[in-house]
Amino acid sequence: MLIIALVKGVPSRSTKVVRVDNIVQRNEMEMIVNPNDEKAIEAADYLKRRVGGKIVTLSMGPDVRLKPVLMPLYNAEATGVDEEMILSDPRLAGSDTVATSYAVGLAVFKIYEKHIAPFDALIKLITGGSSMQEIEAKARELYDQNVLPNKVYNEDPGDRTSMIGHLVEGNLSRDEAVARLKTERANVTRFVIVAGIRTSDGETGSVGPQVAEVVSQKMGIELPHATYVEELDVDPDSLRIHAGRRIGRSIQRLEMESPVLMTFAPEYVAKTIQSVDFDRVIENYYKGKIKEPIKWTADILEADPARLGFGGSAVIVGPAIMMGAPSGQKTLGKSVVFTRKAEKTAWEGKEYGPFEKGDVADALPQTLKDDLTAKGALTTFTLAMLGAELLA
Amino acid sequence: MSATAAPATTSAKVVLADYKDVWVFLQRQDRHLSNDSLELLASGRKVADQVGQRLVGLILGSSLKGLAEEAIDYGADYVLVVDDPALRNYHTLRIIDTLEAMIIKRKPYAIIFLATEFGREIAARLAYRVNSGLATDNVDFEVQDYFNPKFNEMFPKTMTQVRPDFGSRVAKIWTPRHRPQVATLKPGSFSPLARDPSRRANAKVEKVPLPRPGKTYAFIVKELVELPTPNVDLDHASVVIGLGMGICRGADGTPRNPIEAYKLATELKDLIERKWGLKTEIGASRELVMAQVKALEGIITRDHELGQTGTLISPDLYIALGVSGSAPHRAGIRAKKILAVNPDPDAPILLAAQYAVVGDLYDFVPKLIDTLEALPDSA
């Protein structure tokens, strides 16, 4: 099973948010893996242990900043991720959720294509009458690129149990080999995309469902999605997905046909695997890991450039405005409040008041506060006052 | 379909003036519109009045009797009802298909959803499908003529969407070139309008048939299980005491057994109930619930979770102990008054509090209890 995990590098909580022209400058901030995405990796690992296959992560952002953040994922959970793709291109800067989803969705499609193309190449050689040596050489090359599962080809010279092995040995006719490759190709088409419920920086939770839509449009299918997934299982034979998620005060249980996209809630915990068909899992594994993240630029996406980055964004974000404290906020031991009713006062050309006993005076000019304090009209806000007001 | 069939940004063909009416996607709770939906109607009313168009309530589901009239009473001018068993049990894809068909046919100016689990996913996918933008978790809307200096262009009567940004700030968001403008509204940001049944005289309800009824999906709802009512009644409490991760440490960083904080909270709760007769409950932040702290096992459960993903509360008083006040936490609290205790002067909860105490809760709460005990009985 091809498992694609969307992983985002987000500013760590302790870092300062840097902006130029209202666009967050991610290359100037300390990064961590979005905490919610760890659950997606846990789910990906579960699926891989249950049915075999490989996990490919996909991230978008400056590759030099993302690489160190992504490297530990090769050893995450039980099996770790197998490959990491980073979509890194200044043309993608300033993307809103729609433009982000567009780029990420197209990259998902590229990952899928990369794992489908080897089957098409082999089928073409076999039906085109190429020699067994040529077919085997091609299979080995693709296997070494980590894009064919053990089932189709593997490099153990004594092991002729793979499809191409059987074909070369003469145990399988060309027609039978093509039929089996087609079945296997169809299995790769039933891939799964996993992601966290939302990112800790944007907090929109929108990219998951939108990527499902982008991939749907690209593939000409309707790829189902489920957000906030807390329960997950997969039928290793049919590759159908069973998922449970919380909606309000209900649990909704779903059965979905892959390809499918799911986002995982922090409550998700991978089930314990009771029994597993190890032979099948190993047959579905690929050669191994490529422990160096691969950088992709926007060129690979074959995208409509008008839909990428800031220019491709439908929404425009204005400058951030600090939210003020609620009016009348009182800080214990710090705020000053009126000890009695006070009439409207003119002070340095402005009018203030009237005030009730207990009203906060923090926002008044310092000179006025000094004057009022001297008259005994102001005092520091104490615990006794807080106690008296709290439940009044 | 193909990705290039309908580019999102080559909007030259979108004639903005063709798009009319403000739509709100209403959700139900039992046999009525949810309280959040009444707030949504109030927000939509504001936008509709400012842009000078109708407010249209959308009610999609099954067995929807009486809901359209409620929507009108609370502000809608027009209601589109799709009542079909196929729309039961939150069938995401079918609802998106239904809305898409309605949008293509009727061209609304804006469509606003609630920022609930369900509203979010529908809004996101639908916005992409209809080639528009999306602004989530808004707390306010305002229709203005928007001038963009970068494009040197004026966009008349554009919906300004106001959303929290990186914690303690808000940002204004515009979708100037695309229609409909798709947004989600954070529950608790508006107050429902007063119920006015006389509005029914000038309002209309239209029943819309389910588009493509025979379509099958790779998404099947096997069951929808109602969760049992929790043993803590946060919904109806006048006072809620919220505990956060901060209860695991003192202000100086030394570890504390969080059960001590729970005991203090219980003492405070008992005191308020005894002396003031106000129903008081103890809740917890999502972080504390998720941390599954051993000492609080069976005491703090998921039923205690406050905030956007837990119980949304609207008590008279919320007492936040060791709660930092992340945006999703604050979104679920609509207290008349907040008392926040936190050693970090920059904690967002302190910004939102009427009463801010910068300090150690283990120090403060016993003093507060003594102070409250010493007060004369209110009765």
Residue A266 to residue A295: CA distance in whole angstroms: 29
Q: Is A182 a residue whose pLDDT tops 90? A: yes
A315·B120 Cβ contact <8 A: no
Residue B281 to residue B295: CA distance in whole angstroms: 19
- Tell me the nearest-neighbour CA distance from B52 into chain A, angstroms: 23
Establish if A357 belongs to a structural domain. Answer: yes
Query: Could you tell me if A57 and A197 lie in one domain?
Result: yes
Q: Tell how strand A260-264 and strand A192-196 pair up.
A: parallel
Section A194-203 average pLDDT: 80
Per-residue pLDDT tens over the stretch A77-92 = 889 999 999 999 999 9
pLDDT reported for residue A158: 61
Average predicted confidence (pLDDT) for chain A: 91
Query: Could you tell me if B238 and B346 lie in one domain?
Result: yes
CA distances from B32 to A250, B27, B190, B206, B338 (A): 17, 9, 19, 19, 30
Number of domain units in chain A = 2
B116 close to B40: Cβ distance less than 8 angstroms? no
- Tell me the nearest-neighbour CA distance from B106 into chain A, angstroms: 21
Cα Dmax for chain B: 73
- List of chain B residues whose C-beta atoms are within 8 Å of the C-beta of residue A360: none
pLDDT reported for residue B378: 59
Query: Could you tell me if A258 and A183 lie in one domain?
Result: yes
Amino acid at A59: S
Establish if A213 belongs to a structural domain. Answer: yes
Establish if B212 belongs to a structural domain. Answer: no
Establish if A276 belongs to a structural domain. Answer: yes
Number of domain units in chain B = 2
Residue B340 to residue A165: CA distance in whole angstroms: 69
Q: Which ipTM value was assigned to this complex?
A: 0.84
Query: Could you tell me if B341 and B273 lie in one domain?
Result: yes
Token output for A65: 């900043």
- Tell me the nearest-neighbour CA distance from A157 into chain B, angstroms: 41
- Tell me the nearest-neighbour CA distance from B351 into chain A, angstroms: 5
Residue A122 to residue A160: CA distance in whole angstroms: 17
Q: Is A333 a residue whose pLDDT tops 90? A: yes
Percent of chain A scoring above 90 in pLDDT: 73
B19 close to B179: Cβ distance less than 8 angstroms? yes
Query: Could you tell me if B130 and B266 lie in one domain?
Result: no
Given B207, B226, B258, the domain boundary residue is: B207
Establish if B278 belongs to a structural domain. Answer: yes
Q: What are phi and psi of B62, to 5 degrees?
A: -135, 140
Of B211, B220, B229, nearest in space to B99 by CA:
B211
Q: What are phi and psi of B145, to 5 degrees?
A: -80, 120
Which of A28-32, A140-144, B17-21, B129-133 is the least confident region? Answer: A28-32
Strand partners, B163: B171
Given B172, B207, B242, the domain boundary residue is: B207
Establish if B165 belongs to a structural domain. Answer: yes
Residue A262 to residue B148: CA distance in whole angstroms: 37
Range of the domain at A370: 336-390
Establish if A254 belongs to a structural domain. Answer: yes
A33 close to A74: Cβ distance less than 8 angstroms? no
Query: Could you tell me if B260 and B168 lie in one domain?
Result: no
Query: Could you tell me if B260 and B328 lie in one domain?
Result: yes
Query: Who among A256, A314, A334 is closest to B133 (CB)?
Result: A314
How buried is residue B11: exposed, middle or buried, by Cβ count under 10 Å (0-12/13-18/19+)?
middle
Query: Could you tell me if A370 and A300 lie in one domain?
Result: no
Token output for B367: 């003093």
Token output for A341: 């009713």
> At CB < 8 A and 24+ separation, what contacts does B14-18 make?
B14/B177, B14/B178, B14/B179, B16/B177, B16/B179, B18/B107, B18/B179
pLDDT reported for residue B1: 36
CATH number for B318: 3.40.50.1220
Residue B162 to residue A315: CA distance in whole angstroms: 12
Per-residue pLDDT of chain B (379 residues; tens, 9 = 90+): 333 334 344 444 678 889 999 999 999 988 899 989 999 999 999 999 999 999 999 999 999 999 999 999 999 999 999 999 999 999 999 999 999 999 999 999 999 999 988 999 999 999 999 999 999 989 899 999 999 888 899 999 999 998 876 545 678 899 999 999 999 998 878 889 999 999 999 999 999 999 999 999 999 999 999 887 777 888 789 999 999 999 999 888 899 999 999 999 999 999 999 999 999 999 999 999 988 899 998 899 988 999 877 787 889 999 999 999 887 788 778 888 999 999 999 888 998 899 999 999 999 999 999 999 999 875 4
Query: Could you tell me if A37 and A121 lie in one domain?
Result: yes
Percent of chain A scoring above 70 in pLDDT: 93
CATH number for A381: 3.40.5
Rounded to a whole number, what is the distance in angstroms from the first to the last CA of chain B?
A: 70
Query: Could you tell me if A92 and A198 lie in one domain?
Result: yes
CATH number for B50: 3.40.50.620
Query: Who among A213, A316, A332 is closest to B125 (CB)?
Result: A213
Give the list of residues 6+ apart from residue A356 with CB closer than 8 angstroms, or none: A338, A341
- Tell me the nearest-neighbour CA distance from A9 into chain B, angstroms: 15
A314·B352 Cβ contact <8 A: no
Token output for B174: 């515009």
Establish if B133 belongs to a structural domain. Answer: yes
Query: Could you tell me if B301 and B341 lie in one domain?
Result: yes
Establish if A186 belongs to a structural domain. Answer: yes
| Number of Cβ pairs < 8 A linking chain A and chain B | 245
Query: Could you tell me if B262 and B199 lie in one domain?
Result: no
Query: Could you tell me if B304 and B260 lie in one domain?
Result: yes
pLDDT reported for residue B4: 36
Best mutation target, A21, A252, A360, to test chain B (most B CBs within 10 A): A252
Section A10-30 average pLDDT: 68
Residue B212 to residue B222: CA distance in whole angstroms: 21
In this prediction the pTM is 0.85
Q: How confident is the model at residue A301 (pLDDT cuts 50, 70, 90)?
A: very high
Query: Could you tell me if A42 and A87 lie in one domain?
Result: yes
Query: Could you tell me if A59 and A208 lie in one domain?
Result: yes
Closest chain B residue to A103, measured at CA: B3
Establish if A227 belongs to a structural domain. Answer: yes
Query: 3-class secondary structure for chain B?
Result: CCCCCCCCCCHHHCCHHHCCCEEEECCEECCEECHHHHHHHHHHHHHHHHHCCCEEEEEEECCCCCHHHHHHHCCCCEEEEEECHHHCCCCHHHHHHHHHHHHHHHCCCEEEEECCHHHHHHHHHHHHHCCCCEEEEECEEEEEEEEECCCCEEEEEEEEEEEEECCCEEEEEECCCCCCEEEEECCCCCCCCCCCHHHHHHCEEEECCCCCCCCCCCEEEEEEEECCCCCCCHHHCCEEEEECHHHHECCCCCECCHHHHHHHHHHHHHHHHHHHCCCEEEEECHHHHHHCCHHHCCCCCHHHEECCCCECECCCEEEEECCCCCHHHHHCECCCEEEEEECCCCCHHHHHCCEEEECCHHHHHHHHHHHHHHCCCCC
Q: What are phi and psi of B158, to 5 degrees?
A: -105, 145
Q: Is A326 a residue whose pLDDT tops 70? A: yes
Query: Could you tell me if B40 and B165 lie in one domain?
Result: yes
Calculate the CA dihedral of residues B133, B141, B13, A316 and round it to 10 degrees: -50
Q: Is A119 a residue whose pLDDT tops 70? A: yes
Query: Could you tell me if B248 and B200 lie in one domain?
Result: no
A129 φψ region: left (φ > 0), alpha (ψ -120 to 50), beta (else): left
Given B156, B188, B207, the domain boundary residue is: B207
Query: Who among B173, B176, B225 is closest to A250 (CB)?
Result: B225
Establish if B34 belongs to a structural domain. Answer: yes
CATH number for A92: 3.40.50.620
- List of chain A residues whose C-beta atoms are within 8 Å of the C-beta of residue B9: 306-307, 311-314
B174 close to B161: Cβ distance less than 8 angstroms? yes
pLDDT reported for residue A13: 61
Query: Could you tell me if B29 and B121 lie in one domain?
Result: yes
Establish if A142 belongs to a structural domain. Answer: no
Range of the domain at B52: 11-207
Establish if B103 belongs to a structural domain. Answer: yes
Query: Could you tell me if B75 and B128 lie in one domain?
Result: yes
Q: Is A221 a residue whose pLDDT tops 60? A: yes
Establish if A318 belongs to a structural domain. Answer: no
Query: Could you tell me if A343 and A236 lie in one domain?
Result: no
